[in-house]
Structure formats: C-alpha cells, structure tokens
Structure 1
Amino acid sequence: MKRNIIAGLAVIFLLSSCNNNEKMMDALADYNNSKETKGYHFGDQLSFPKEVTDNAETITISFGDNETSNLTVDPKFFTLGDNEVTLIIKTKGGETLNQDATINVFAKNPEQNISYNIIADYPHDPNNFVEGFLIEGNTVYESDGLDGSSQLIKYTLGSATPAIIEKQSAEIFSEGCAIVGDKMYQLTYRNKIGFIYDKNSLKKISQFPLPNVIGEGWGLTYDGRNLVATDGSKNLYFLDINDPSKAVRTVPVAGHTETYDKLNELEYHNGFIYSNIWHKPVILKINPATGEAVGKFDFTKLTGENDQGNSEHVLNGIAFKGNNMLVTGKNWAKIYEISVK
C-alpha cells in the first residue's frame, strides 16, 4: 500500500511539473509574440512573465555561438534588428526547457522625415534598368542590370547619350558600383563576382569573388576607407578595399519601430550612408557606425510619376552633386536634383 501511495505521489508530481512547464512555455511564447512588434532598445532589461520567473532557476540566452545570462539588451551581444535566439530555462525542478524567440532591437530615436525641394531635372534613358548610380563633377557613372542587357556607362549630366558604353556578357547581371581613385568597382547580382575597371576608359582590370557572407550583390558605395555593399538584407557589409572578397564588418540597419531589410542602392555623403529600399519609394539616411536610420526621404510622388504603372520601375539611384541629391530609378526618363530643406 505504501509503495502504491509513493508511486501515486510521484505521478501527481510529474503531472504537476509537466503542467507548470507547459504554462511557462505558453506564457513565454505569448510574451515573445507581444514584444516582437514593440521591440527593445539597447540598455533595456528583458523582463519575463511571472509564470517563468517564479519557476526558473536560471535563464540563459543563446545566440549563434554565444551565450549570456545577462538579461540586458547589450550591443556587445545583440545587433539592431531581428535577433533569432534560444532561451534556455533551467527550472527549479531541475529540468531544462528551450524556447526559440525573436528579440527585435530598434533605434532609440525616431527617424527624421527629411523635407526637400526639386530644383532641376535632367534627361535619363528610360531603357536603362539602373542598379548603380553616381556622379563625379558633371560626369554620371551608371551600372545597368538585367541578363543580356547589363552595361557600365558614363555620360554628362544633362545628356542621355553615353560617352562610353561597356557592354557585359549575357550571363552577367550588373548591380551597384563605386569609384575609388581611378578605379571603378562593380557588383553582380547572382554571379558571385565583382569587377574592377579603369574609371576613365571603363575597361576591365580584374575581378574578385564576393565575400561568402554576401548572398547576392545589390548596392555599393565607398566611405573613404571601405567599400560598403548590400545584398537585399538588413545588413551593410564593409569590404576591405585591398581585398574586396573580405568583409571586415557587418552593420544591421533599423529604425525606431522597424528593421529595414531589402537595402539596395547606396551612396556615402558627409559621414552618412543613404540607401533606398527595394520596392519602397523611400531613401534612408543611416549612421554607418551604429546602423541607426536617422532620417527618411519620401519619394512617393516622384515614383508614381515615373514608374509607368510597372512595379519593377522602382526608385533606385542616389548620387550627390555637392550637397544636393540626385535621384532616379529603373527605366525612369528623368534624373531629379533636390535640395534638402
């Protein structure tokens, strides 16, 4: 009889423990879902539901190869944007429970809505599927994409007729471009290679493999020290100028309430990186040291006037003429010069 009572108590304890664990995990899942939209900021404490804290001996956060028991949102551990983690809970009953979670970290300050005036417009060849766009002096350099139509061109602002055209082979899909000294660097979309050209003649000098961390080639700029690339994710990749196949730093980008992925065409100007977002009529002003989006331009009206009802004719060209910004897009018939208010 005594043995049966002990066995019965053990079953009750086991059922009670399972029930507690189930309540903990349900409460934790609900909590994580509720926090995904609101997110956190650096310095915030991760506070978990009472059902968890009352029954947990320890809570550890596992992120890739790292683990921490510090429940502060620390930039040494987390990045801006979505952090995919596993919460490891050791219960007071001696069990270990795992719960996958997304911890979104946003910038502390809201993005400034940047006002502007259109002060001029210039002709642009509407046949050009713009992927890279920059200006030096009055000379525009442009990398145009699509399989079978990719090319690198240069022309004088105000003229839609190129002075030099460098056609690329049919299997190449050209993407972003940047100038460093007398050289031009260019990414390709899914070919996993980049090219280096002589800036003056547009003749190819060499090529290099893209870093493994970059899934696809999208945008490219130069910040005076590194090439900076995008691949359609939330990340800015800083590449070694002496060996562009090597990424030396990765910086995720986020605003006050959202993570910005699909970062695309880039331009560096006066300490900030400007990036459009694929299929959105906006350009972000980004602090490259932190990845925080500090400002945003809204080009909804210009995009609507130039996309001809084609969803692929998106805003996709950023350059600076002095302190004025030049913007254009894929298959747009104009380049616009704007001054910031």
Structure 2
Amino acid sequence: MKNIIKFNLIAGFATILLLTSCNKNKKMMDSLADYNIAMETTGYHFGDKLQLPKEVTENAKSITISFMQGESSSLAIDPKFFSLGDNKVVFVIKAKNGETFNQDATINVFTKGKEKNGVYQIVADYPHNPDNFIEGFLLEGNTVYESDGLEKESQLIKYTLGSTVPSVVRKQPDDVFSEGCTIVGDKVYQLTYRNKIGFVYNKNTLEKLSEFPLPNVIGEGWGLTYDGKNLVATDGSKYLYFLDVNMPSKVVKTVGVAGNAEIYEHLNELEYHKGFIYANIWHKPVIIKIDPMTGEVVEKYDFTKLTDENNQGDSEHVLNGIAFKGDNMLLTGKNWTKIYEVAIK
C-alpha cells in the first residue's frame, strides 16, 4: 500500500512538473510571438540587437535565427543576414527542458535617416505616342529608346525626342510581353514580363543578336538599367537584382529597398544616374532615389498632379518612364500623350 501511495505521489509530482514546463514553454512562445508582431511596425535598424522578452531569455537554453542563407545566434541586425525591408525568418528556441521550438516571424529593417521630399520644376514637355504602353524608357543624346508592352503589341523602338514617329521599330512575337530596357555600349538589353527571357539587340539597327534566360530568382521581368558595371533588374518586389552584364542569367548580388518607415515593394522602371538608381513604384505616382550600395531611399518625388492629368481615368495608365537629359529628369507613363522634362532642385 505504501509503495502504491509513493508511486502515485511521484507520478503526481511528475505531472505537475510537466504541466509547469508546458506552461512555461507556451508562455515563452506566446511572448515571442507578441513581441515580433509588436516590432513589425517599429522595425529595426542595422546594428540593433533584438531585446527579447524575459519569458524567452530566462527559459531558453539557446536562441537562433534561421535564414535562407544561414543562421545566426547573435540576435543582431547584421547586413550579412538581413536586408532592408521585410525579412522572413524562423526563431529556433531550445528550451531548458531540452525541447526545441520553431516560430516563423517577419523582421522589418528600416533606414535610420528619413527620405527627403524631392522638389522639382517642369521646364519643358514633348509629345509622346498615347498608343504606347510604355515599359522601358531611356535617352541617349537626343534619341529615345522605348520598350512597349502587352501581348501582340510589344515592340522596341527608337525615335528623336520631340517626335512621335519612330525611326526604327522592332516588333516582338505575339506571345512576348516586353518590359524594361537599357543600353550597354553598342547593345540594347531588354526584359520580358513572364516569358522568362531577355533579349540583346544591336543599338543602331535594333537587330536581335541573342537572348538569355532570366535568373530563376526573378519571377517576372519589370525594370532594367545599367550602373556602369552590372545590369540592375526589378521583378515587382522590393529587390534590386544586380546581374553580370556578360552573363545576365547570373545574379551578382541582391539589395532590398526601404526607407525610414516604409518598405518599397513593386519597384518597376529604373534609371541609373550619377551614383543613384531612380525607380518608380507601380501604381503609385512617385519616383524614389535609391543608394544602390545599401538600398536606402534617400529622396522621394511626388508626381501626383502629372499622373492625374495624364491617366485619362484609367488606373493602368500609370507613371512608368524615367530617363535623364543632362541633369534634368524625363518622365512619362503608359499611354501618356506627353514626356515631361523636370529640373530637380
């Protein structure tokens, strides 16, 4: 009888210990989830360290953050692992009782400095063919190179700024949806939307020289520019993809783009100018100025007035063309009737 009582007491204590341990673990993981959700809006900056709740630190034997590119136990916001913007991670918690728990989280990283509001003045305007669903836009000398989209209507054209009549037209096959374009030396590089290929043309004749598969990481082709060393592409996400100009299927590096309190998704048409990348945000009347080394947005230009004057009530007629004429910016949009030259102040 005494043995039975002793056994029941031991079993009872074990159950209490187990329940206590389970409650501690649940409280630990709940507090971690609450903390991560609360910090998504506030975000972090590079160099910050995660200050996890004491329910986690006091009950965890070890804490590791797992990324696609590795894992870290320092709990520091290190650019080796994090990019600007949203970072999908997994917390791996080894509790003191030996159990291991995983919890998904999003860690938002913002810039310390706030992006400036850019000031500009319209100094000239030029005609633009409103039939053109513009996707890529650049100027060399006085010659405009324009990539126009839509299936069965896609084309790459050249024309003189001030004219709407192209001097050279390269029509695309019906199943191709053309996207961003840029010039490298005597060649024009052009992306496609969902065809997963890019084209290379002779700059003078627009004769197609070759094509290349887009890197697997790029789901869709959107914008394209050249920084003097690499091609830089967008795919509608927050990322700038730097591609080897001699092997465009190879990604050299990837940079996330964000500001002081905003993650800039839907990066679209691009233009490189004097050390910075200018990008428009799809379906927003803004152009942002990006430091390509860090992805930090340093300036933001609001072109709401011009967009409202040119979209003709069609939400698809968005701002979508950036080029430079000297230090002045040229901008236009899908099916717009004008190209605007603006002096940036």
Fold similarity call, TM over 0.5: yes
**Letter in structure 1 aligned against 2:61:** E
CA distance in structure 2 between the aligned counterparts of 1:69 and 1:210, rounded to whole angstroms:
35
Find the counterpart in structure 2 of residue 315 from structure 1. Answer: 319
The partner residue of 2:328 within 324, 330, 333 is: 324
**For structure 2, which runs of at least 5 residues remain unmatched after alignment?**
none
Alignment of 1:141-180 (within 5 A): 141-180=145-184
Which residue of structure 1 lines up, in the alignment, with residue 27 of structure 2?
23
1:159-215 Cα deviation digits (max 9, x unpaired): 111111111110010000000111101000011111111111111111111111111
CA deviation profile, 1:78-101 (whole Å, cap 9, x unmatched): 111111111111122222111111
Report the more deviating stretch, 35-44 or 156-165. Answer: 156-165
Q: What residue ranges of structure 1 are gaps of 5+ in the alignment?
A: none
1:96 aligns with 2:100: yes
TM superposition shift of 1:65: 4.3
Which whole-Å CA distance do the structure 2 matches of 1:316 and 1:304 have between them? 13
Q: Distance in 2 between matches of 1:335 and 1:49?
A: 54
Q: Percent identity?
A: 72
Distance 1:72 1:155 in 2: 52
- Give the Cα separation in 2 of the matches to 1:43 and 1:181: 40
**Counterpart for residue 41 of structure 1:** 45
Q: CA deviation at 1:20?
A: 1.1
How much does 1:261 deviate?
A: 1.2
Counterpart position of 2:66: 62
- Taking structure 1 as the reference length, the TM-score comes to 0.98
Give, in whole Å, the separation in 2 of the partners of 1:110 and 1:65: 29
Out of 294, 299, 302, the residue aligned to residue 298 of structure 2 is 294
**RMSD in angstroms over aligned alpha carbons?**
0.9
Aligned to 1:105: 109
1:205-244 matches, within 5 Å, as: 205-244=209-248
- The one of 227, 231, 252 equivalent to 2:256 is 252
Q: Deviations over 1:119-151 (max 9, x none)?
A: 111100011000000001111110000000001
Q: How many residues align?
A: 341
Q: Contact 2:69–2:81 (CA<8 Å) still a contact in 1?
A: no
1:115 partnered with 2:119: yes
Distance in structure 1 (CA, Å) of the matches to 2:101 and 2:241: 35
Is the CA contact (8 Å cut-off) linking 2:46 and 2:78 kept in structure 1?
A: yes
Corresponding residue for 1:8? Answer: 12
Measured in 2, the distance between the counterparts of 1:259 and 1:155 equals 36
1:297–1:195 Cα change, 3 Å = same
Cα distance in 2 for partners of 1:230, 1:66 equals: 24
State the shift of 1:253 in Å.
Answer: 0.8
- Misfit runs of 4+, over 4 Å: none
- Deviation of the 1:297 alpha carbon: 0.6
> Distance in 2 between the 1:227 and 1:89 partners?
41
Give the SS at the match of 1:280. coil
Q: Which moved more, 1:267-276 or 1:101-110?
A: 101-110
Q: What amino acid sits opposite 1:15 in the alignment?
A: L
Q: Secondary structure at the match of 2:76?
A: coil
Which residue of structure 1 lines up, in the alignment, with residue 204 of structure 2? 200
Moved more, 319-328 or 225-234: 225-234
